[in-house]
Chain A
């Protein structure tokens, strides 16, 4: 029987990172993945990631996947694709289906990094073609280049629902509405804001009543729910759509751990049925580890660190790394993981209503209820300042673990400090050259460069822009507000692109100066 120092099940962010760490210590590692392409969900993620600079923040998800694969390859990790692990038996023996046969393989250590599957909700018509998971929509557009539909309703305002809504628009779909039964937006406010300013209406406290259509979706009816989740009569709204996208959470795919005999728990804080693991990711069975979404739903950034920790733990267990060296590594990784698990969206904060930021600034209520910060709320945040000439306006209003903007400014005018969740503040003493590095570096697309008074009655606003076709210099169009409503006429005066911007274009528009703090997006004249 083939034998490895470590068998990893699942080639996603957690699995690859664990394999890399173990292989670095000299372990012979194999990674099995049932898909035809490695990388797990990373390859569907075309947006820039949040986090710290040290942990691949502001790099797009699929790029992170490519980097991890290259690293694993260079270290001699075997990645076997189309390999379906169908069983995990005592003595750490696995059976894996490869091509037309079943192989038995033994590992001295095993990491289960099988990830999660999408949750569904039922309503009349939910089995009609056209009702799809948000992850499925991402697979179609970002992996296979196929449009899931033309007109889409998104259910779910968590990060998945928000990010996929934005990507659907980038792919050329129209997102007619974003609904969520919860009374507040669940995902990052900056993700919500970039969807809202494109003109997508948010319907919080709304659920789907039914999908219409005979053999495919032709429409959907949503309705408002009261505090007891009962639909309020007379609040029904109908939308003509061909696609209903469901982004209502993920469930850990932990059956393999259960089968192996690991102690399990059904923990709502971890979003489902998960193996109980210690601080090294080790399950109740010595030598079997679990990392990533399978042991509790979180972001890919934390999955990567969990994977690294499990890989190091396996190396220590097997004697490939001394305990002292392992401890030093653990300390480093744990500090990073704790950093990511802070702020308003930390695992322990689920479902809690927050009224103030860590800095004591009142949270934008409008952002939570409608997806955008209201004009009368925006001024109170430390990133929003005014001065003569061009300067950054940072509309980042929640404590999230992200800090690339701090290092983006060559003049160091953006301050976050050592606490990664702190709101970015603008130093009014430092002059701004208008280079735009901060605008492109913000994964939340929340930084704008504003010149409130150009002297001729106009103001200029530079914004991140990730849509095609790209507007041309001189082109006229409409400036949209944070809520996606028309504010005024606008003219494109600059379109910048640079390698350092990583495909984010910087669009500068000119508007009448009274709209300097209102206009936040540009719509081409020929667009709908």
Chain B
């Protein structure tokens, strides 16, 4: 989805726009659809713009849903969209633990 000139038409409000898609960050379907029309064509951009998948479950529930919504809006198949990058930490972790490496006793 690198073609920034892709024409996707106007954002047309839909009756189910108020359905929450990302539960952790409380992002609705309408917000995601609007973000695509704002020019966010990749899942990484959507994630940075809206914080979908950045909450407690780390996208375990909504990744597939967001992908479907974005693909539909762009008029492509979901598997044409590259998944947002996987990074450490894979699971939510408290900063005080993340910063605490176990002392090695050699």
Contacts and interface: CB of A to CB of B under 8 A. Distances in A.
A102 B100 contact: yes
Nearest to A122: B19
Contact of A101 (B62, B85, B97): B97
A258 interface: yes
A95 B65 contact: no
Nearest to B100: A101
A403 interface: no
Contacts of A1: 104
Nearest to B85: A258
Interface string A246-285: 0000010111111100001011100011000000000000
A258 B64 CA distance: 16
Contact of A34 (B19, B20, B91): B91
A124 interface: yes
B64 A119 contact: yes
A120 B61 contact: yes
Interface string A34-62: 10000000000000000000000000000
Contacts of A272: 64
B79 A87 contact: no
Contacts of B82: 266
A524 to B, nearest CB: 40
Interface residues of B, number: 32
Contact of A259 (B62, B63, B86, B97): B86
Contacts of B60: 117, 253
A123 interface: yes
Nearest to A99: B97
Interface in B61-106: 61-65, 78-83, 85-91, 93, 97-98, 100-102, 104
Contacts of B78: 266
A259 B90 contact: yes
B102 A103 contact: yes
A84 B93 contact: yes
A69 B104 CA distance: 29
A86 interface: yes
B16 interface: yes
B29 to A, nearest CB: 7
Given A97-B97, A104-B101, 11 more contacts: A97-B93, A101-B102, A122-B29, A123-B19, A124-B19, A126-B19, A255-B90, A256-B90, A259-B85, A259-B87, A266-B78
Interface of A: 1, 34, 84-89, 95, 97-98, 100-104, 117, 119-124, 126-127, 251, 253-259, 264, 266-268, 272-273
